[in-house]
Structures are given as C-alpha cells and as structure tokens.
Structure 1
C-alpha cells in the first residue's frame, strides 16, 4: 500500500512491477509484465464479483489512447456533450478563452443572466479542466461570480473557445527523463473587487504536465514580492507532496527545481534572517525558506517569457497562449504527436 495515497498498491516480483489504483468499486491496473497483469485480473475475478473491462479507454469522462511510448488523455466526447446540453453547438469559435482586455468585476449594472444555467455551465467546465489546463484560469475567474452572474462574465466565450479546440488533450510520453519541476506565477492585486492576488502553479514530471492550479489567495499581498513569495510557498507544498508520493514508485529526487520569475521573491526565501521587511508576511508561508535551507527545493530564476504558470494567472494574447499551451504544456490534439499510438496499451480496467 502507498504511504501517501492509501488507494494505491504496488507489487514487485523479480524485475517486474504491478501498479493498482482503486476508485470506489473500479480498479485501474497495469504493469511491466503481461503475465503479472493477467494473473492479477484472474485472481480478482475469482475472489470478487468483478469483470474485466479490457484496455483502459474510457473512465470517469476521460478518454485514453495508449501506445508503446505515449498516452493521450482527452475529453472530446464530454466537450461535445456539454455544447449540446447548453445549446452552444452552433456558436462562433474563438481562438482564446478570454480576451486580454477582459477585467472582470461584479458589473452590478450589467444584464443579469440565468443563475441556474450559469452555475451549470461553470460546473461542467470545472469537470473539463481535468484534461484542459488551458481553460483553468478563465473558468476559475468566472466561477467567482456565480452568485450574481452577468452577460459580461465570459463563460460563453469559454464554450466558443472549446468549439474551436474540441480535440485537445494531454500527451504523456514514456521516454522523457523523470525529473520533477515546479513553475509558479502570481498576479498581484489581480481581483478588481477585493484586490487579492491570483496564484498559478504547475508541476511537471519530465516533460509531462501532471498537476496545475489557478487560485485566488485568501489574503491581500502588499507587494509583488510578497505575491510571488506566497505563490512559491503554495507550489513548494505541492512539490513536496508529489515527491513523497513518487517515492512509493521507487523514484527518489534530490533538490527539486522551483522556477520563479521574481528575483526579489527568491532573495526573500534565501535570506536566513527574518528582518523587518518580511515580518508582515504570514508565518505559514515561511516554510518555503525552511525547505530551501533543508535542501528539498532549489529556487531558480526563469525569465517571464518562459514562465509556464503565466497561463494560470492572466489572459494572454493568442501567440503567447498557443506557445505555452502546445509546445510547453503539451496540450495537443491526437494527431500532433510525432509518435504513433497502437492498441493493447499497458493499463486495464476492472469493474
């Protein structure tokens, strides 16, 4: 049993490994040996009233295409279904989920829209963010106005963007070097209502995006430095959790690179003295400095143009958005990969 995730089980036999993940009454499993996988499936079918569903292709709304070197995860069917549900199938496509000129507020004088439908659209889009990190920021921003939605809150534009990109999904390559990295960005005083900062983080295993978030913090930051420092603390905690989880797979990591585009935030984290300029920062965020001193993470400066987390904190113009979405985060279509997918992938499903 995994030490962090208690629904994860691993078996090593000789040089082969079997990995099992349990979700309610479903089991996803795969391994490096067909004999080991077949033996487990037969044993589970004998012990319990379960049936082998075969190669993993569809699970909880996620669609999988497996190959010897790559796996493609997408929600194209779900995307078509929600367009039909909310009668957006004939909408005009858009190239980005939000305009760079968008600055949302409560818009109390704006035209009111159906609250029930608006909340239904937000809920459906939140489910889609499981494979579409490119809409994460726009969906989370619109979700802040569910209590009193207006026509100026661009939830329909997100649907129109999905109309333009229905087949996008996440590519996972088996050939990439297994290094763990984190990126973070913060939009200081980004909310026009309460001026709280929006932090965005993403974590990559090799070249594959495995975790991401766009979150409005509970506190108001007094400077850009503090905003970046708080976002770095959030990203650090996620990296440490992932490091502990990956240790169950036998993967060991030393210093984990945490890439920040603020030299001042890096200086605060590396300063061992809590001088007067940082006393106002909440104590809970100073664990970032502690883990830097312990050698768990390594704070590295990255230029803003290469900051992957930008896509989770602000609307971007088309070319910058597409560059981060495709080339850096690997949110692509099935035909964009240079590899070739085949049947008989390694993961299977018991139900």
Structure 2
C-alpha cells in the first residue's frame, strides 16, 4: 500500500555556467574509500567521530537571479500547442542545498588554534570529529542553530556500515546485513571455511541448466554491497558477477558457497588500529589470462594507510594482455591512479606524500616502467609504460619489487586456501595458510 506520494519539479541542472551558478547545485557524495580513509585517520589520531543528520535534505534558500524553467513534457498548452510553457521560479517555493560552504565538497578540514576539525558529508548525512571537544561541540551547536539537524551522538551506523569505536581502534563490519541476506536467500546449508575452492574454474557452462536470472542478480548485488567491509570475498564475488547475463547451475553453486562462507564468518570486518602510522603504500598484481572464456587477465590492487586497508579492487582487464608484463603493467597503472587520488584526498587532512611505494612482484614490469628507452617489444603497452614512467620520474610513486609470497594484492586475483580461526567476535582473526604468511592478511590481524 502506498502511504505517501512525493513529487518534485527539478530544473535542468546541467545548464549551469561556470563562474555564475556552476557550484551552487552540487550535492556532495563521498566515495566509500573516502569514508574508510576518514575512519582510519580518526582511529590513528584518536578522534571520536560523531554523526548528525539533516532533517530536510533540501533546505530552503534564496535565489537572487531571475530564473525561468520550461514545463515538463506532457504539459503543453492545448490552446497553443506550438508554444512551450515557461514558468517563473518566483511562483514556486525554491528549495536548494545551502550549507554555508559545506556544499562545495564532501570533505572539509578546519584548523583552529592548533586543533583540527574534520567533516565528511554524504548528501544529508554528516560525520565530524576533531582533536578538541570544544571545537566539535561548537560546530554541532552552530549547525543546529542554523539548520534543523538531528544530533545522533557517537558514530555507530553509517551507510549500512556498523562502526565500533574504542581506545584500541575502530572496527567496521556488516554483521547485521550479513545475517539479513542469509535469511533472505534462505541459506541453511553447512558453513564453509573458504569463499571459493582453489579448484574452481568458472566458464560459460552452456551445457548446464539455466537458473533464475533475477534471483541470481539479486544475490550478486547483495554480495557486492557487502564487499565494502569484506575484501576476503572481493575476488569470488567479482568472478561470479561476470556471469549475470546467463547464469547456470555451476555459477549458482559458486555463489552459494560464498554465502556458506559468510555463515561461517558473519562478523568479520576491518579493524583500524589507533597506533597505526599514516604512511601510504599500494600493492598491485595480475593473473595473466585468468579468464576461461576470453583469456583476459585480472587486475588486483590494494592500498593501505599505515596498517589499515582502506581501498582494494579486483577487475577483469578491458583487453587481452599479450604478456604477463603487460598484464602487470596494466594493474600497476590502475594502482598508481588510485594512489594519486588518495594522495590528493589526504591533502585535506594536511598529510602530504612524496614517492609513495608501489609494490609489484614483476621485475619485468618494473624495468619497463623505469626504462627511458621504448623498444619494439614494449610497443603494445606504450600508454601504461608512459603513465607509470611519468609519475615515477615526477617522484609521485616509487616502484618496488616484492616477492610473490608477500604480495597482498594476490588475494584479489585467485581463490586461496583460507583457514579461519574464530577467537573473538569483535575482531577478525583470519590466518592465511598454504604458502602465504600471516602478514598477507595483516589488515585483519593488526
């Protein structure tokens, strides 16, 4: 039953002119990586994050310009069908997002008398914290006086993420959401200790039996949202997501195994230590010709702020790599791009980096990126070669070799044997066996 219908006339927001009204219609939306960076930064500095919510996402404001909008399609005048109906905005209540400078960007950092205030905005949800309790209280009081705000106290739940702040650090997880999707899809099978078997090799499986596409896509969509705090299922979910167009029985069984793994580890998540440093480093790896159908490679990257894993990815490359060197270069270029974005984002926290370590387990890819001479064997990777070499020469990144056994990004390129030992529900206690050191999953141990 429909309880309430809402309608809103939206003027064309893509016709602004820079310098006049270009910045006045921007609704700030932070990326999940930005949220995790803020949580890691606050944990490292010992900030206690607070949360507030705008009661009305669109706040009443004043429009100084003379503004007219064309009526929506279907409202043409029957008397003058060849004329467009134009209305003056003065006849309607004007509602725009106005927040005294906070609408300009999704993150605001303010320094006052040696104290720091950090404000993160996601449309109408605001996270804030700082080194001074007086500065934080002053900010919340000023916002409450100017706008109708709901002060929600200590940050505990944000965008579906459950957040637990303590003296030893911050723990983020999606335990409630995990139990909800297990109940939704009626997963009562025996739990599994790994999200995917190392012997699994998914392909088109056209000889199998087709399954319900709508339900399969619903399962994949639910799991993709869960990867916001569960990097351990990132590769398995992304691999199964490739077969959403025509899922078969083998694909559904692979997805069910991920759910059975979640049943065994419902309260796993990420822990950001309060004693972590704020150094930035990245790892990149590639599985050359790993796809069984088109032989495209899989790129994997992860970026850490100190010991806190704040960003990761696992994706199939857009084109077929002719060599493992090319595949590794594509992955390294992707990781470099993400590191540059994080470097720019961390400037808002007054943190600056130079020569960010990018660890790659391919000496040939590193040699090609550092070599100033482009020879015939590297013509097919010329673009990535120049991109990496350009930022290496600028001093933005420093390409460093790391042995494959210590390559953290390897967990996003292929299924690995994980043996999880449950000790404490509040902390992740995953330990990686089978030729991988425990430090590979340092994001959950430290």
Question: What secondary structure is seen at the aligned counterpart in 1 of 2:149?
Answer: coil
* Residues 132, 331 of structure 1: 8 Å contact kept: no
Which residue does 1:243 correspond to in 2?
343
Structure 1's 32 and 328: CA in aligned 2 closer, same or farther, altered over 3 A?
A: farther
Q: Which runs of 4+ in 1 moved over 6 A?
A: none
Residues 97-145 of structure 1, C-alpha deviations (whole Å, 9 max, x = no match): 1100011101011121111110000000000000000000000010000
CA shift, 1:189, in A, is 0.6
Select the structure with the greater relative contact order (CA < 8 A; seq sep ≥ 6): 1
* 1:268 matched to 2:363: no
* 1:316 matched to 2:410: no
Which residue does 1:69 correspond to in 2?
168
Question: What secondary structure is seen at the aligned counterpart in 1 of 2:246?
Answer: coil
Which residue does 1:295 correspond to in 2?
395
Which residue does 1:307 correspond to in 2?
407
* 1:6 matched to 2:115: no
Structure 1's 158 and 95: CA in aligned 2 closer, same or farther, altered over 3 A?
A: same
Which residue does 1:18 correspond to in 2?
117
Residues 173-216 of structure 1, C-alpha deviations (whole Å, 9 max, x = no match): 12112111000110001111111110000000001001000010
CA shift, 1:59, in A, is 1.2
* 1:133 matched to 2:231: yes
In our comparison, the structure showing a higher alpha carbon Rg is 2
Question: What secondary structure is seen at the aligned counterpart in 2 of 1:280?
Answer: helix
Which residue does 1:40 correspond to in 2?
139
Residues 316-346 of structure 1, C-alpha deviations (whole Å, 9 max, x = no match): 12359832797444454xxx77xxxxxxxxx
Residues 279-335 of structure 1, C-alpha deviations (whole Å, 9 max, x = no match): 111525520111111211111111101000011010112359832797444454xxx
Distance (Å, rounded) in 2 between the aligned partners of 1:285 and 1:109: 42
TM-score, length of structure 2 as denominator length? 0.72
Which residue does 2:383 correspond to in 1?
283
Distance (Å, rounded) in 2 between the aligned partners of 1:272 and 1:243: 25
* Residues 117, 130 of structure 2: 8 Å contact kept: yes
Distance (Å, rounded) in 1 between the aligned partners of 2:105 and 2:437: 33
CA shift, 1:38, in A, is 1.0
* Residues 99, 317 of structure 1: 8 Å contact kept: yes
RMSD, matched Cα: 2.0
Question: What secondary structure is seen at the aligned counterpart in 2 of 1:291?
Answer: helix
Question: What secondary structure is seen at the aligned counterpart in 2 of 1:44?
Answer: helix
Gap runs ≥5 in structure 2: 1-27, 35-103, 421-429
TM-score, length of structure 1 as denominator length? 0.90
Q: Which moved more, 1:319-328 or 1:132-141?
A: 319-328
Distance (Å, rounded) in 2 between the aligned partners of 1:226 and 1:194: 16
The count of aligned residue pairs is 332
* Residues 169, 331 of structure 1: 8 Å contact kept: no
Question: What secondary structure is seen at the aligned counterpart in 1 of 2:249?
Answer: coil
**Please, which of 206, 230, 237 is the counterpart of residue 108 of structure 1?**
206
Which residue does 1:119 correspond to in 2?
217
Question: 1:51-90, aligned counterparts within 5 Å?
Answer: 51-88=150-187, 90=188
Gap runs ≥5 in structure 1: 338-351
